[in-house]
Structures are given as C-alpha cells and as structure tokens.
Structure 1
Amino acid sequence: MTEAPVALETDVAIVGAGPIGLFAVFELGMLKLRSVLIDALAEVGGQCTALYPEKPIYDIPAHPAIEAGALITQLEQQIEPFAAPRLLGRQVNGLSGARGDFTLTTDKGDTVRAKAVLVAAGAGAFGPNRPPLEGLAAFEASGAVQYYVRRREDFRGKRVVIAGGGDSAVDWALALKDIARVSVVHRRAKFRAAPESAARLDQAAAAGEVEMVIPYQLHGLVGTGGALQAVEVATLEGEVKSVPADVLLPFFGLSMDLGPIAAWGMDLALHHVTVDPATCETSIPGVFAVGDVASYPGKLKLILQGFSEAAMAAHAIFPIVHPDQALRFEYSTSKGVPAG
C-alpha cells in the first residue's frame, strides 16, 4: 500500500537519518527545537544499518567497541523523548525559500516547511566500487562476492578473501578471523586503516590467525555456476597465484552521489558541501551540513566529529528559529532532557 504524501511544518528539516542525523535530533531537542528526519532509505541508521550493522566501531567515546547497529539503537533511545517525525523511503528533490522559511519536497510528493535545513546525508547515495573482474556478476548474484557484511555468522567456517587496505578491510579481517579462514589481499604492506587496527592485524597475522597476501591485487575469479573456488591474485610484475576461497569481500570504498542536493546551489568541493567550520552553515544562509557530507580545512571523517558538528549547528540554528531570544548555554547535567 502506497503511503499518501504528507505536509509537515517544523523548526528544522534534517536530510539524512544516519547516526549524525539522529544525534542532531537530540542536540536540537535539547534547545527545544523541533525537527523532522527525511531519508531515502526505508530505515534509520544510514550505512551503519544498511551496510554493516554488526561491524564493531572502536572510536565512540565511552565504548571500547560497539557494533554499528547497536549504536543506532542507542541513538534512537536517546532521541525518543523528542518524538521527531520520520519520512523514510523518500528522497528530497527540491528546496525553495530562504533562511527562516524553507520548503522541501520529496519524490513521494511530501512537503516540509522549516525555518532551517540540516543536511546530514553522509556523502549522498552510495554503492560499492566494484573490482574489474571477468564474470563478476554471476558471483555477485550467488553471494560469493559481497561488498557488505550484515551478519558475521553467514561466514562461519568459510574461506574468506578480503581485498583492500582501508578500515573496512582491516576491521572485518579482525572481526571474522575467529569464525572463518581469512586471507587479506593488498598491494602493499602499509594499510590505510587506523594505526591501532593495523597493528592488531599484524599481530593476528604473526599468530597465524590471518593470511596476508601481499603485495598482490585481484586478478580473477575461479569457479562455476556462481560457486567460488578460488581468487586469483597477481603482483605488479604479473606473477599470478591462486587463493582458495568461498567468499570474496572487496572493500574498495563507496561511490557517492549527492543526487538532487547537488543542484541546490551550495558551494561544493569534490562532491562534498563546504561549510563554515564554526557553525557548519553552507553558502546558502539557513542551510547547514554536518557529518561526512561537510567539508572544511582539517575535517576528519569520524562519527565523533559529526556528533560535535551537530551540536555546533544546533546552536547556530537557534537564533534563526528564535531571533528574539538569547540562548543561554546550559550543560545537560544541569537541565536534564526537556520534553519534546
């Protein structure tokens, strides 16, 4: 059954319901600002929910490790008092108006009037960067080649080849090494992952828990009918060898597309939105951007930095919603959580 279009009026329209968009609901709510969440996905959580709900995250304060899905669950609990409406499965395709009086429209015919807009859309729509391997589609269809890990248990007892040198490759090698036979393929010995994670991978390799296939890159897939038997890898000199495998996990990053947001007229830099680092306001007055989509000198693409940006943006938005009121800063320990 198709949902009927809705018309809403709020203080702030949040475009993107990933972890940063969810936390923005909290920061706005603490200032007694109403918000609405809009996201193209059918559920909140962004990449944390859609791509890697069981992936451990190690740099969330007070959590030595927390799975991405659990982080989203706790963020939802945190924002529950504010009862922010959610328009999910909808893409924002239009923005009109000006600071203090914007109208957003979606591809489902919804309209949202808001005094400010907060873009927390990650880097837009995302999809995997696929390796250029012959016959790849058949192995993708069978599940022998996957780009995301939703359930660790799906890989128990399997021969898993992980290709890549970033955080995803290293983190999943560490997460799967106790339940699967893991081989890591990378073109060089140095990894781009967090130093602590890379050091843990080195320790796991030294203990024989992970096979390091270095310096190699993907060359081909061996198997029939979508069933994978081995992954061929090659050096830059052309030396080819075969690594037994049931599953290949290529982690070569995501291709990003800002979609209709790119046409709003905001200043962009390499598919990211440039913002004032003090307020996270874009080149359009009243439109703010936080999280991975936002760009400024010294920017770090960390969830914790996105959380900080959400707080700064919320305080910068307050005078737009309440131009005649002075905002007196209070700590949450002093005032508690106000009713939504």
Structure 2
Amino acid sequence: MAAVLPGLGASGATVETDVAIIGAGPVGLFAVFECGMLRMRSVVIDALDTIGGQCTALYPEKPIFDIPAHPAIEGAALIHRLEEQAAPFAPLYLLGRRVEGLSATGDGYELRTSAGDTVRARAIIIAAGAGAFGPNRPPLAGLPGYEASGGVRYLVSRREEFRGKRVVIAGGGDSAVDWALSLKEVAAKVTVVHRRPKFRAAPESAARLDEAAARGEIELAIPYQLHGLEGDGSTLTGVVLATLKGEEKTIPADHLLAFFGLSMELGPIADWGLGLSHSHVTVAQSTCETSLPGVHAIGDIATYPGKLKLILQGFSEAAMAAHAIHPRVFPGEALHFEYSTSKGVPGA
C-alpha cells in the first residue's frame, strides 16, 4: 500500500493505508501503536478537531486511576503519552470530520468523510467510543450567546480559568460533584444546583460534597432547577433558579457549568450492517471482528460476553484486533509473536 505521511491531513485527501482507525480516543491511539508494531500503517479519523476523545473534551484535568503503572494520571497527560507512543509509526490524522460512507473494494474497504476525503484501507478498526457526542443543553432563553462567551459551559478544560470566579454547577452526577469539589479550591464561590437531596455520584464523593457544604465551602441549592440566565446576552451575571412550586431565586454567577450528561449517536456507522445491540457493535471476543470481514470494533463501542467498559480492556482489544488484521495486510506471511522487549519498536 502507499505510504502514509505523518501529521494532519488536508480536506479532500485521497489516502491509501493498511488500517483505517475511526476514533482518536485513547483506545484508537493505542491501536496505532499495536498496528505499527506489526509494520502496519494507520490513518486515524475523528469528528473532533483534536485527538483524545472524551479524555480531551470532557476531563483533561481529571485524574484516571486504573491505568497500569500510573497510580493517577490526568486525561490530557494520558493522551499526550499515547500520542508519543504512536508517533514513531507516523499516523495520518484526519480530524474535524466524520466518516459518512463505507464500501467494499477488491482488497479491503473505502471510507468517505464529511470533508470529502477518500481513505482506502485493507482493514478498519472502529474505536468510536459511544459515537459522536455532545452535551445535553438546558432549555434556557438566550443560551447561545452565553455559550459563545464561555459564560455557560459543559466541560472544564483548565481549572485555572475559574480562579476567583463565581461558579454555578447544575447536575447531580459524578461530573457535577467532582468538579464542585475541585473548583472550590480556586473559585470565589461554588453553588451546586440539584432538584433533590440525593446525588447520583459515587457515595464517597457525595459524602465529601455534604461535608464541604457543612463547612461552608460549597453552597447547595436544593431542591432547585435552572430557570433562566441574567446578563447582557453575552456576559453572564446571574443564574435564575426555581422550585417545582414556582419559588425563584437568583444566584450571582460568572459561569454556569451544566452537567446533564451527553447525547450520543453512532451516525452513519449505525447503517453499516454491523449487527448492533443497544447502540453497541457485537464482535468476536478473540479478534474483535464484526459481522463484516476485516472490520473490527474495540473500546466502549464493542460488546461481547464478559465485556468490561474500561480503557485498559480497550487497550487489550487493540492488540487483539491488530494481530487479527495482520494476515489481511500481509497474506501468506507467518506472524511470529514476539514481546516488545525482544524486538523493540520497528524503525526506532
């Protein structure tokens, strides 16, 4: 196959590669490494305009505790390390576009993207997580203007941006509770809005929230819901809350963080005949191959008996898929399993 140049691809590119990887999250990035260790070139396609998937978009500064050899590592740091690990194999990243079409060719598949790219590959690895995602937005008047200015946000990229600010956090899950506990260290004031006293967060985190509220470090607005925004249409000055009985109050605020979960969709992948089960792709456990020969799925999007939705299991699936793909890229060539400690990194 034609060599793939490293770096970012321009729109409308026509590329030939060994493996096309759909999804640039942690599992997709590790698949680049695993394919590279078997001398297979990769092109990585992602709808976001940067690599990292949810680690980058949703919790770049939140620690992850179940990555082997890292007692704790922040999401952004994990992605940086995975990018470094993949770099020797010069992957081509086609970012800010989604895969719109799939068709079989004589020796593999052809993918077409929303940016007009054509990617021809011997095999495909779908590492799309839960699919394309976006925040569930509260139905508030004037919301777009405050979103554009950063007054209303759905994720925290840098904690320091909230230093000395008045922050209202809406939601009752882990994201709302975890960021309330984190931002109380830097924000001038943190108010958590929830419609009921019981939170859906991890019990230990919810207990810490209650303790912080008892010490006056966090204000709890319960049982309230978001009702409106105050400001000039761009700069936020306050958040209007209301109870189910219609009682209202306004909390002065510079930022509203709304954590109401994500809206997920698989997009065109859902129409590829992959044997979906509740928006997940059923795969063979030993190879991660889907119902389409040469198309594999790994990470959160893949399902099989005993599946655990853990990043570390996705890493294992990346290795299994790469080894299963090798015969398609190098037909007739025997694959002798070797440990990386013995053979090193090819070309390094």
Q: Same fold (TM over 0.5)?
A: yes
Q: Give the 3 Å change call, closer, same or farther, for CA 94–57 of structure 1 in structure 2.
A: same
Q: Give the SS at the match of 2:257.
A: strand
Q: 234-243 vs 313-322, which deviates more?
A: 234-243
Helix, strand or coil at the partner of 2:191: strand
Deviations 1:177-217 (A, max 9, x none): 21012122223444333455445444444443322333433
Give per-residue Cα distances to partners, 1:272-318, cap 9 Å, x unaligned: 32333333222222111122322345544433332232222223323
- In the alignment, what sits opposite 1:63? 70
1:278 matched to 2:256? The reply is: no
Instruction: Within 5 Å, give how 1:161-240 maps onto structure 2.
Output: 161-180=168-187, 181-236=189-244, 238-240=246-248
Deviations 1:75-108 (A, max 9, x none): 1111112112222333322211169511222233
SS at match of 2:169: strand
Task: Provide the C-alpha distance between the structure 1 equivalents of 2:338 and 2:209, rounded to a whole number of angstroms.
Answer: 43
Cα distance between partner residues in 2 of 1:154 and 1:8: 40
2:10 and 2:94 in contact (8 A); partners too = no
* TM superposition score normalised by structure 2: 0.85
Q: Give the match for residue 320 of structure 1.
A: 328
Instruction: Give how far 1:336 is off.
Output: 2.7
1:249-288 equivalence runs, <5 A: 249-288=257-296
Shift in alpha-carbon separation, 1:335–1:265, aligned structure 2, 3 A: same
Q: 1:216 to 1:282 in 2, by over 3 A?
A: farther
User: 1:65, 1:255 → 2: CA distance?
Assistant: 28
The SS at the match of 2:148 is helix
Cα 1:211–1:57 shift into 2, 3 Å? farther
Corresponding residue number in structure 2 for 1:123: 130
- TM-score of the two chains, using structure 1 as the length reference: 0.87
SS of the residue corresponding to residue 152 of structure 2 reads coil
Deviation at 1:17, TM superposition (A): 1.4
AA aligned opposite 2:284: D
Task: Label 1:140 to 1:40 Cα distance change in 2 as closer, same or farther (>3 A).
Answer: closer
CA gap of 1:225–1:82, structure 2 versus 1, over 3 A, is: closer
How far does residue 14 in structure 1 lie from its aligned partner after superposition?
Answer: 0.4
- Which secondary structure does the structure 1 equivalent of 2:153 belong to? coil
- CA gap 1:144/1:8 in 2 versus in 1, 3 angstroms: closer
* Contact 1:119 1:288 survives alignment (8 Å): yes
Q: Work out the CA distance in 2 between the residues paired with 1:86 and 1:75.
A: 14
Shift of 1:52: 4.2
Bigger mean CA offset, 102-111 vs 125-134:
102-111
Matched to 1:8, the amino acid is: V
2:142–2:233 contact (8 Å) kept in structure 1 = no
What corresponds to 2:6 in structure 1? none
Task: Give the count of matched residue pairs.
Answer: 339
What secondary structure does 1:109 align onto? coil
Does residue 79 (structure 1) correspond to residue 80 (structure 2)? The answer is: no
Deviations 1:232-265 (A, max 9, x none): 3344555544433221100111212322222222
* Counterpart amino acid of residue 91 in structure 1: R
Q: 1:214 to 1:308 in 2, by over 3 A?
A: farther
Given candidates 10, 17, 20, the residue that maps to 1:13 is 20
- Does the alignment pair 1:147 with 2:136? no
Instruction: State the secondary structure of the residue aligned to 2:315.
Output: helix
How far apart are residue 323 of structure 1 and its match? 4.5
Percent of aligned pairs with the same amino acid: 71
Greater Cα shift, 222-231 or 81-90: 222-231
Paired residues of 1:12 and 1:34 also in contact (CA < 8 A): yes
Match of 1:160 in 2: 167
Distance in 2 between residues matched to 1:106 and 1:154, nearest whole Å: 35
Structure 2 stretches lacking a partner, 5+ long: 1-8
For residues 127 and 78 of structure 1, the distance between their equivalents in structure 2, rounded to whole angstroms, comes to 28
Counterpart-to-counterpart distance in 2, 1:113 and 1:82:
18
* Partner amino acid, structure 2, of 1:285: P
Name the SS of the counterpart of 1:134 in structure 2.
Answer: coil
